[in-house]
Homo-oligomer: A and B are copies of this chain.
Amino acid sequence: MAVTMHDVAQRAGVSIKTVSNVVNGYPHIRPETRRRVQDAIDELGYRLNTTARNLRQGRTGMIGLALPELSLPYFAELADSVMRAAEARGVVVLLEQTGAQRERELQALDSPHRRLTDGLLFSPLALEPEETERLQVDYPMVLLGERMFGPVDHVTMANVEAARAATLHLVERGCRRIATVGAHPGETMGSARLRLDGYRKALAEAGLPFDPDLVADAGLWHRSTGAEAMTRLLDAGVQLDGVFAMNDALALGALHVLHTRGVAVPRDVAVIGFDDIDDARYSEPLLSTVDPGREQIAGTAVDLLLERIAGSTVAPRRVVADFRIVARESCLLGQDVH
């Protein structure tokens, strides 16, 4: 049915291997021969059979990307970035969702998909430090996100630094009573903990006291939980003039509640989020946030993984992406956009 190299070879009057050489850009081919082969390829509409090449080369040309949920905006956009980065490097991405459940995260490490991919980009949310040794897999892997350490390549965002910068951004705007939304009490290594650390660091640097009443917990980082947390803060009568939300969904929920309660943003309270998801560009007022360097994270992660796949055995690396404060309406200095 399909056209094979054999057909092309016959038509061009050369051996199969020569066709292969042309297709693969082998340099020592007479221009005349190359042209004949190329013509035959064009005339027959030949397309390389990737499966056969992969079998022969012992690779699949695909990498896996295991992440919590596509319906979480940050991960949908991360997937987008990874797919683009992979495409630019000639590999294909196979997506897998773990639902942020410990069990399914462990399964992803050993799923049938692993036979189809040359390596894995893994973004765990639920795995605990005790499970570090489960990450000692026998295939190339690069971790994304803040969880887990151990001797594995790891690409992460500058959670502490970026949270600190976001909080300082509010300080510079004149905020003195800055709340934070999204804390996970007791957490030792997740983003919530790291971003809380950054928040505290900024307060300390600015000479502001740390007030536990200004810390609002939120288990899941959704709009709804952000709204609930903000409601609790307001209901408790806590004085505040700034909010650092640990992600944009929380921030959007908080914005909603502030608006409802008649609190003017940014005049009365300035708000900054984290992640720079697409929705932050459509809110009212426009949400200030932190761009954690998603593109860079995706590109770097794919690069590291491809190096491992190519056989690199250098010591495990840890890359921290550059972040950037995205100043929008929700924390304009001394103004009210309404």
Contacts and interface: CB of A to CB of B under 8 A. Distances in A.
A222 B73 CA distance: 14
Contact of A284 (B55, B83, B115, B224): B224
Interface in A137-174: none
Interface string A207-231: 0000000000000001110010000
Interface residues of A, number: 40
A115 B48 contact: yes
Interface string A59-82: 010000000011101001101100
Contact of A116 (B69, B76, B92, B113): B92
A26 interface: no
A65 to B, nearest CB: 10
Contact of A80 (B71, B80, B227): B71
Interface string A84-104: 000000001111010000000
Nearest to A71: B76
A49 interface: yes
A97 to B, nearest CB: 7
How many copies of the shown chain assemble into the complex? 2
A148 to B, nearest CB: 24
A12 to B, nearest CB: 21
Contacts of A93: 95
Interface stretch (A184-192, A275-283, A298-306): A275-283
Chain A binding surface, main DSSP class: helix
Interface string A230-254: 0000000000000000000000000
Contacts of A256: 256
Contact of A47 (B115, B277, B278, B283): B115
Nearest to A259: B260
A287 to B, nearest CB: 11
Contacts of A50: 112, 115-116
Contact of A97 (B47, B52, B83, B224): B83
A75 B117 CA distance: 25
Given A71-B80, A80-B71, A94-B94, A51 B55 contact: yes
A54 interface: yes
Nearest to A59: B51
A51 B47 contact: no
A302 to B, nearest CB: 16
Residue from A70, A113, A116, A259 with most neighbouring chain B CB atoms (10 Å): A70
A279 B71 CA distance: 9
Contacts of A70: 70, 76-77, 79-80
A151 B144 CA distance: 44
CB-CB nearest 3 A-B residue pairs? A224-B282, A70-B76, A71-B76
Given A50-B116, A227-B284, 15 more contacts: A47-B115, A50-B115, A51-B55, A51-B116, A69-B80, A70-B77, A70-B79, A71-B77, A71-B278, A76-B76, A80-B97, A92-B94, A94-B94, A95-B95, A259-B260
12 contacts: A48-B115, A50-B112, A51-B55, A70-B70, A71-B77, A83-B95, A92-B94, A92-B113, A224-B283, A224-B284, A227-B284, A260-B260
